[in-house]
């Protein structure tokens, strides 16, 4: 260990940008065994591992790094999976620069962080290859059942924990495939789809029942689900896209990021997607403008590059240092040919023949130039308009990636007594996920607002522990 003084930080090989532009495969390769051991040995085994504190799952990072450095890979895997339901997924898509790696002690001392995410991915990918990933086989079946609404990471993590304890689990989801945003939001170049599908197969093989194409509130009522199970977990994520109010915003060719990414991900599965085949949600040959500066915007610009767009530009109202998206993803996008136009905001859209009525196809974005002004209450500098500096950015496809809000579940589901916050997220108790309705829990984005996969996993695990406790207590009462 402690090799950080002599061994530099080295990520797995990143594919050449030109090759990356041609497909939707992940951009990083896998470590070879020696490289993984060498990079793990850079860990300083410091007494106070801030990486662990800043990992939402409190993964025992220093210990599994040491085991990997010593070639004890199977033990490293056992330890890693004890706290993380999907380590190979987090290793790929956690924003490590803001979480574990950003707080690594040797990073703070200027030596370059230990590549924690890449080692975590390597350990679990190896475990799958070697057949160490155990099937879910509860020691004893229990009669209690839990209904989970939503097959995203929060719902899946809870299902995994509950099934391991023998609880009967049914997951209801409105999509045809499970995985939530892991499947239909996040593109393959960050997370290849077979990684997610392997986990789905593991859960199915472990006895989880999936009821797909079931939109709760339409195909089945919330009360039906509630009366069919001993407890219910709401893990529906947030899907209401924030919109723009600007002249011409209704023009053809101005689309929502979630529709665009879902269509692209469906094509990666080989599905027929009419809106893609018609060109509506396909960037090929088009001048694409993406509006937004978060992770969703980064995924849109990089998808458009891979679809063969003529040009891809990203408008963001603050500057590079103040954008919410990962700096690593911005760098990847720039390498692949995306142009960022910082300090800009859409003022309106021009349509066919210069009309701004929003009838024909979009032809351009009227762009306001901004500057950063005084900080707001959170300390973040507010963008201010520079009067009279607007210009037109030509575009055939405009993708709105302005973030997501929760749907109004109490109204959609006609359920009284389910309390929500002033942001519309479901009100749930910290660390247990208990809602205002008895026996009903909530986890993931529907509680936090748009967040991260690792937090959804954490919530799903916490909720399942609380549900198990409640089921245990009910079983004890019934036996008295
Ligand atoms: C484009 C994009 C890129 C992202 N990239 C990253 C990243 O790189 N790293 C990261 O950590 N996070 C990323 N995130 C965030 C991350 O995907 C989410 O925080 C996470 O998926 C939330 O998990 P969840 O289980 O709460 O919800 P979701 O993953 O949204 O799953 C919710 C599920 O509920 C189902 N559902 C909803 N309503 C109903 C209903 N009425 N009836 C039945 N089923 C229903 C949905 O179909 C869906 O399958 C990204 C998000 C987006 C949009
Ligand atoms: S789960 Fe995410 S934050 Fe935690 S160690 Fe893994 S990559 Fe880092």
Per-residue pLDDT tens digits for 19-29: 999 999 999 98
> What is the CA(107)–ligand 2 centre distance, in A?
16
pLDDT at 321: 87
If asked whether residues 396 and 263 sit together in one domain, one would say: yes
pLDDT at 358: 46
If asked whether residues 39 and 86 sit together in one domain, one would say: yes
- pLDDT of 418 > 90? The answer is yes
**Closest ligand (CA of 220):** 1
CA distances from 68 to 1, 5, 43, 115, 126 (A): 11, 19, 11, 12, 11
Query: What whole-number distance in Å separates Cα of residue 460 and Cα of residue 468?
Result: 12
Q: For ligand 1, atom 44, name the residue with the nearest CA.
A: 173
Q: For ligand 1, atom 15, name the residue with the nearest CA.
A: 452
Is residue 137 in a domain?
no
**Closest ligand (CA of 116):** 2
- pLDDT of 361 > 50? The answer is yes
Is residue 374 in a domain?
yes
- pLDDT of 359 > 80? The answer is no
H-type alpha helices, 206-340? 222-228, 257-268, 274-277, 295-306, 327-336
Is residue 222 in a domain?
yes
Q: For ligand 1, atom 39, name the residue with the nearest CA.
A: 236
pLDDT band at 105 (very low <50, low <70, confident <90, very high): confident
If asked whether residues 173 and 122 sit together in one domain, one would say: no
Query: What whole-number distance in Å separates Cα of residue 475 and Cα of residue 480?
Result: 9
> What is the CA(55)–ligand 2 centre distance, in A?
5
If asked whether residues 165 and 298 sit together in one domain, one would say: no
If asked whether residues 382 and 416 sit together in one domain, one would say: no
Query: What whole-number distance in Å separates Cα of residue 197 and Cα of residue 192?
Result: 9
If asked whether residues 275 and 357 sit together in one domain, one would say: yes
- pLDDT of 10 > 90? The answer is no
Is residue 300 in a domain?
yes
pLDDT at 47: 83
What are the pLDDT digits (tens) for 86-98? 999 999 999 998 8
H-type alpha helices, 131-253? 153-164, 181-184, 193-205, 222-228
If asked whether residues 349 and 272 sit together in one domain, one would say: yes
If asked whether residues 395 and 410 sit together in one domain, one would say: no
Q: How many domains does the chain have?
A: 3
Pocket of ligand 2 (CB under 6 A): 55, 57, 59, 61, 84, 90-91, 94, 96, 99-100, 116-117, 120, 454
Q: For ligand 2, atom 1, name the residue with the nearest CA.
A: 90
Is residue 296 in a domain?
yes
The minimum-distance atom of ligand 2 relative to the CA of 457 is 1
**Closest ligand (CA of 64):** 2
Of 402, 428, 456, the last residue of a domain is 402
Q: For position 121, which CATH number holds?
A: 1.10.1060.10
Query: What whole-number distance in Å separates Cα of residue 302 and Cα of residue 307?
Result: 9
Contact assessment for residue 341 and residue 333, using Cβ atoms and an 8 Å cutoff: no
Residue 365, helix vs strand vs coil: strand
If asked whether residues 249 and 381 sit together in one domain, one would say: yes
More reliable by pLDDT, 255 or 327? 255
The minimum-distance atom of ligand 1 relative to the CA of 451 is 19
Of 100, 130, 160, the last residue of a domain is 130
Contact assessment for residue 61 and residue 49, using Cβ atoms and an 8 Å cutoff: yes
- pLDDT of 205 > 60? The answer is yes
**Domain residue limits at 354:** 241-402
What are the pLDDT digits (tens) for 426-471? 999 999 999 999 999 999 999 999 999 999 999 999 999 999 999 9
Is residue 140 in a domain?
no
> What is the CA(82)–ligand 2 centre distance, in A?
13
**Closest ligand (CA of 103):** 2
> What is the CA(99)–ligand 2 centre distance, in A?
7
If asked whether residues 13 and 105 sit together in one domain, one would say: yes
Pocket of ligand 1 (CB under 6 A): 93-94, 149-155, 172-175, 180-181, 185-186, 190, 214-217, 235-237, 261, 295-296, 299, 444-445, 451-454, 456
* 75-80: long-range pairs with CB below 8 Å, 24+: 76/123, 77/123, 77/124, 77/126, 77/127, 77/132, 80/120, 80/123, 80/124
Candidate of 89, 90, 93, 191 to mutate for ligand 2, largest count of ligand atoms within 8 Å of Cβ = 90
> What is the CA(451)–ligand 2 centre distance, in A?
14
The minimum-distance atom of ligand 2 relative to the CA of 91 is 7
If asked whether residues 81 and 224 sit together in one domain, one would say: no
If asked whether residues 80 and 216 sit together in one domain, one would say: no
Share of the chain above pLDDT 70, in %: 96
The minimum-distance atom of ligand 2 relative to the CA of 101 is 8
**Closest ligand (CA of 84):** 2
- pLDDT of 474 > 80? The answer is no
């Amino acid at each position: 260990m402690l090799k950080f003084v002599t061994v530099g930080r080295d990520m797995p090989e990143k594919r050449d940008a030109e090759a990356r532009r041609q497909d939707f495969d992940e951009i990083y390769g896998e470590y070879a065994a020696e490289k993984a051991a060498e990079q793990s040995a850079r860990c300083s085994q410091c007494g106070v591992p801030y990486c662990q504190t800043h990992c939402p799952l409190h993964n025992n990072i220093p210990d599994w790094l040491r085991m990997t450095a010593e070639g004890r890979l199977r033990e490293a895997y056992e330890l890693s999976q004890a706290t993380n339901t999907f380590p190979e997924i987090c290793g790929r898509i956690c924003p490590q620069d803001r979480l574990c790696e950003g707080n690594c002690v040797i990073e703070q001392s200027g030596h370059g962080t230990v590549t924690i995410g890449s080692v975590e991915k390597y350990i679990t990918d190896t475990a799958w290859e070697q057949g160490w990933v155990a099937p879910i086989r509860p020691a004893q079946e229990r009669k209690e059942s839990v209904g989970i609404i939503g097959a995203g990471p929060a719902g899946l993590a809870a299902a995994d924990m509950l099934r391991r304890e023998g609880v009967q689990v049914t997951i209801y989801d409105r999509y045809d495939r499970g995985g939530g945003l892991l499947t239909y939001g996040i593109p393959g170049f960050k997370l290849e789809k077979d990684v997610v599908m392997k986990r789905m197969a593991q859960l199915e093989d472990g006895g989880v029942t999936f009821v797909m194409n079931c939109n709760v509130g339409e195909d089945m009522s919330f009360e039906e689900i509630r009366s069919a199970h001993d407890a219910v977990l709401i893990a529906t994520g947030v899907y209401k896209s924030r919109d723009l109010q600007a002249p011409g915003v209704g023009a053809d060719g101005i689309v929502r990021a979630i529709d665009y990414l879902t269509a692209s991900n469906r094509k990666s599965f080989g599905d027929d997607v009419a809106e893609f085949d018609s060109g509506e949600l396909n960037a090929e040959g088009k001048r694409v403008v993406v509006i937004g500066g978060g992770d969703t915007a980064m995924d849109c610009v990089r998808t458009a590059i891979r679809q063969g767009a003529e040009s891809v530009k990203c408008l963001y109202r603050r500057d590079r240092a103040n954008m919410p998206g990962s700096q690593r993803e911005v760098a990847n996008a720039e390498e692949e040919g995306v142009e960022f136009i910082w300090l800009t905001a859409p003022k309106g859209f021009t349509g066919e023949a210069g009309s701004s009525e929003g009838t024909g196809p979009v032809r351009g974005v009227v762009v306001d130039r901004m500057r950063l002004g005084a900080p707001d209450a959170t300390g973040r500098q507010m963008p201010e308009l520079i009067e009279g500096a607007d210009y037109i950015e030509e575009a055939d496809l405009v993708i709105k990636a302005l973030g997501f809000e929760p749907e109004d579940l109490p109204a959609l589901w006609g359920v009284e007594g389910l309390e929500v916050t002033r942001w519309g997220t479901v009100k749930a108790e910290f660390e247990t996920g208990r809602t205002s309705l008895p026996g009903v829990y909530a986890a993931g984005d529907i509680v936090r607002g748009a967040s991260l996969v690792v937090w959804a996993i954490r919530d799903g695990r916490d909720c399942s522990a609380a549900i198990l406790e409640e089921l245990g207590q009910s079983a004890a009462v019934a036996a008295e």
